[in-house]
Every structure is written in C-alpha cells, then in structure tokens.
Amino acid sequence: MNTVSEIIGLNWIVIGPTLALVATALVLLFCTITITTSDAVKKLVTISGIIFTLFTVFLKFGLFLTEGASSYFSEKILLDEFSLFGNVLLGFILLFNFYPIWNSSFELKDKTTEAIILTLMSTAGFMLMVDSENFMMLFIGLEIGSISLYALAGINKGSLLSNEASLKYFLLGSLASCVLVYGISLMYVSLSVTGVYETTIAISFIGSENVPLTTLIGILLLIIGLLFKVAAAPFQSWAPDVYQGSPTGYVGYMAATAKVASFVVLARLCIVSLGFVMDKFELFFSAIVILSILIGSLFATVQTDMKRLIAYSGVVQSGFILSGMTSGINGTSASLFYLAAYILQLIGIFLILSTISGELTSDFSMNNLSGLFIENKFLSICFSIFMLGLAGLPLTSGFVSKFILITNLWSYEKYILVFALMLSTVAGFYFYLKPIWIAAIDKPENTMAKISLQLNEKISIGTLAAVTILLGVFPNVLINISRWVIENYL
C-alpha cells in the first residue's frame, strides 16, 4: 500500500489548502442543514477554516523546502514556486475579504451560509487550479472556482442588476470554459499531452519547428480561455457589467481571485510549457496587450460608474501584467510583483466602496463619492492612496511595479509595448484622478450619509493602504519574492 501511494505521489499536504477549504464549507453546510447554529459559531468555523488553510499553505512551504519542485498524484498536482505564490496570494485575498464577505452575506439573511460556502468553494477551486500540473485538473479547478463565482454574482436575487450580472458572467464564462476545454482536447489529439511539463518535453522532442498547427491552435485556445478570466481585451466585455451588477461586497474578492489564479497559471504556462514556441505567439500577445491597454483606457475615461471604471482599469492593468509575462523570465518576475501590488489595491478599493454604499448594492455612481473628504478623512486618504497606486504615482507600489516592468520590456527591446504602456499611464492619470477630484474637491449636492466604520474594516483598509505605500518605499522584499519564483527557470 505504502509503495503504491509513493508511486502515485499521494501527499495530502499538497492539496491541503483545497481540502481545508472544502472541509470548512462542508462543516458550514452541516451546521445549516442538519443542526441550527448561531451566526457566531458559523463565523468562528469560517475564520478558523481560513486560518487553517493558511497554515496548510505554510506546511506546503515546508514540503517544498525538503522535496523541491515536484509533482504529486501521478503528475496531476504540482508543487512549485508558482503554486506557492498563487496559494499565498489567494489565501490573503480570502483573509482580507472575509469581513466584507461576511457582512454582505449577513445582510442576505436566509442565504448567509450559502454565500460563505460559495466563497470558500471558489477559493478551493482556484487553489486547485494554481496547483494543477495536468490541464484537466486545471479545468476542474477553474470550473469549481468559476461556477461558485457565477452564483456569487447573482446571490442578491432581489436585484435586477445582480441577476443580469450573474447570467452574463455564466453565459460568457461557460463559453470561455468550452474554448479552454476544446484547446486542451486539441493538444491531446495532436501531441497526446495533457500536462505542463509533458508539453515542454513533447515540443522539445519533435523540435519547435515541427509542432503541428493543431497543437498551436490548442495552446492558443487554452490561453484565450485564461485571458477571458483576467478580462484582457477583446475578451473583456463581461467585466464592466459583472463588476457593476454584483453585490459590492463580493466584487473585490471575485475580481482578485480569478485574476490571481489565471495569471499564475498563465505565467507558468508561458515559462515552462511554451519556452520553445513563445516566438510563435509573440504577435498574438502583443496584440492582446495593446488592445487591452487601448480599449481599457479609452472606455475608462468616459465612465461615470465607479465599479465600471475599476473594471476597465482592470482591463488596462491586465494588459500591463500580460506584457511582462509574455516577454521572458525577468518580465515575468516584474509581472508577478505587479500582480501582487495591483491585487492589494483592487481589494482595498472595493473594501472602501462597499463600506460607503453598503455591501449589497449594485451600481455605484461616482457622485456617491462627493463629500467623502469632509465625511471621513481616513477612508478618503486610503481611497486616494489606492487610486494613486493604480495610476502609478511614485511612493506607491504602482510606481515601482510600472518602473520595473517597463525597464524590463525596454531591455527586451519591445519598444511598441513600452510606448503603449507609457501612453496609457498618462491617460490613467486622467481617469484615476477624476474620482479623487469628486471625493476631495467637488461640493456635495446633498450631504453624505454617515459612514459607520467597524474596527475590523478600518484595520483591513488601513493595512492594505499601508502596504501599498510600504511597497512603494521599500519594495525590496516583494521583488525578491517575485525573483525567487522564477529563479530556477533562468
């Protein structure tokens, strides 16, 4: 028995985070259906589940240090730097979003546990996705995560916008999943490969010149499926509607998890699997980057809804991250730094938006912000920090990430991308400063409703803002981490 488990690489620690999250979800389900439990107990169960998840991620680090990068479960699950990076980021996203998610769910009354379970399941799915070596495993993880997110988008049944968001997300998301699966099957048909490393071996075996067109199309479709999840143009059309329609308390979480998981997988795919055939996709990726930056910037300038603005800014930021990921190893490390810095700002902004407008409301007009500086200094300063961070103003993490990324791109001699990124940075100053202007300087037409900030919300927002500044002033630690992720592939 022992030998069999050794041969197939049975190691529960590797999928520990996923298991812990699923187990927490099941306990919560049990607590709701079988025995009635008070909310306090459920809260305790959830938070201890999340902390246990973080602990298992820590255990994975221990395993990684002794075993090194290796695959488990007969080459289905991979434990490498990318999966650890993804796991840590996903875990922190869940932790920072715990309170908005809990508060939103609490407002739902009879569906409180349902929403929590969906959240936990989606993180479980995405954790599995970043851990996957096999493409089928990737698909399973992606689907577990995405289906939970579709349901989460429409959890506020009373709201028309929420229903619309859910349906749109579901229809377009399923289409993207179909494309992804079709891509995987094409790769299997042409090269009989379904794994990250198998693909590399197969490609290097037959030579990058002889890779069949079917495989290339398969890879392309697989990548498109992932690009859909990160809302890169021209696959961005769902993002503004979903962001706008979904309950505000959940949007930060939804946007962040899907982005982190897909980008980590994409980074691994580009570095590990596609190393030999990357030049064939260069034009495609450049086109995606430039389209994302152009479309995102153009549409962001005309938005009047805050959540739509963040959605289009997300399209731009995806373009930035993608530009580094597809430009070689140093670029990928810059992109991973960018990703982490961006995600923290994104979560922070949605935390603030949900405290201002209430967790369950859908649309958030920019005028809601007017008078924020008079009403609540703390929120307004944090809000400015996040927006300036997105714009890339010095002394925030946004500047460091943009500087490192653009320097790397320049040294790869990708002048067109550099030019596009610079242009969008200028445009960014216009649309990121606009909400700050409304919050700080515009005279409010009617005085703002009193914002009651709970201590935990204050702590999470304050921490995220402080991290945004700290990473701008002392970026060394995170940059070293992002270098460590790609170090072995140099």
Binding site for other proteins (CB under 8 A): 388, 393-395, 399-400, 403-404, 406-407, 410-411, 418, 422, 425-426, 429-430, 433, 437, 440-441, 474-476, 479-480, 483
Q: Are 115 and 104 in contact (CB under 8 A)?
A: yes
Q: Which amino acid, one-letter code, is at 278?
A: M
- Among 286, 278, 267, CA closest to 482: 267
Least Å from the CB of residue 307 to other proteins = 24
Nearer to other proteins, 254 or 421 (CB): 421
Bridge partners (DSSP) listed for residue 71: 78
Nearer to other proteins, 21 or 400 (CB): 400
Nearer to other proteins, 138 or 294 (CB): 294
Q: What's the CA gap between 143 and 132, in Å, rounded? A: 13
Nearer to other proteins, 25 or 267 (CB): 267
Least Å from the CB of residue 268 to other proteins = 21
Q: What's the CA gap between 484 and 75, in Å, rounded? A: 23
Chain CA centroid to CA 341, Å: 11
Nearer to other proteins, 16 or 475 (CB): 475
Q: Are 435 and 450 in contact (CB under 8 A)?
A: no
Least Å from the CB of residue 257 to other proteins = 28
* Backbone CA torsion sign across 386, 387, 390, 395: negative
Least Å from the CB of residue 393 to other proteins = 6
Least Å from the CB of residue 400 to other proteins = 8
Write the CB contacts of 275 (distance below 8 Å, at least 6 apart in sequence). 200
What are the φ/ψ torsions at residue 19 (nearest 5 degrees)?
-60, -45
Measure CA of the first residue to CA of the last residue in the chain; give whole Å.
39
Least Å from the CB of residue 283 to other proteins = 23
Nearer to other proteins, 195 or 475 (CB): 475
Nearer to other proteins, 54 or 395 (CB): 395
Nearer to other proteins, 272 or 433 (CB): 433
Least Å from the CB of residue 8 to other proteins = 38
Pairing of β 70-72 and β 77-79: antiparallel
Nearer to other proteins, 282 or 487 (CB): 487
Q: Are 242 and 107 in contact (CB under 8 A)?
A: no
Least Å from the CB of residue 13 to other proteins = 30
Least Å from the CB of residue 490 to other proteins = 12
User: What is the SS3 string spanning 157-207?
Assistant: CCCHHHHHHHHHHHHHHHHHHHHHHHHHHHHHHHHCCCEHHHHHHHHHHHC
What are the φ/ψ torsions at residue 144 (nearest 5 degrees)?
-55, -45
Least Å from the CB of residue 369 to other proteins = 15
- Among 311, 309, 165, 124, CA closest to 232: 311
Nearer to other proteins, 10 or 298 (CB): 298
Nearer to other proteins, 159 or 482 (CB): 482
DSSP labels for 238-284? HHHHHHHHS-HHHHHHHHHHHHHHHHHHHHHIIIIISTTTHHHHHHH
Least Å from the CB of residue 404 to other proteins = 7
Q: What's the CA gap between 419 and 41, in Å, rounded? A: 54
Nearer to other proteins, 252 or 324 (CB): 324
What are the φ/ψ torsions at residue 169 (nearest 5 degrees)?
-60, -45
Structure token digits, residue 410: 């320049």
Least Å from the CB of residue 201 to other proteins = 30
Q: What's the CA gap between 232 and 142, in Å, rounded? A: 17
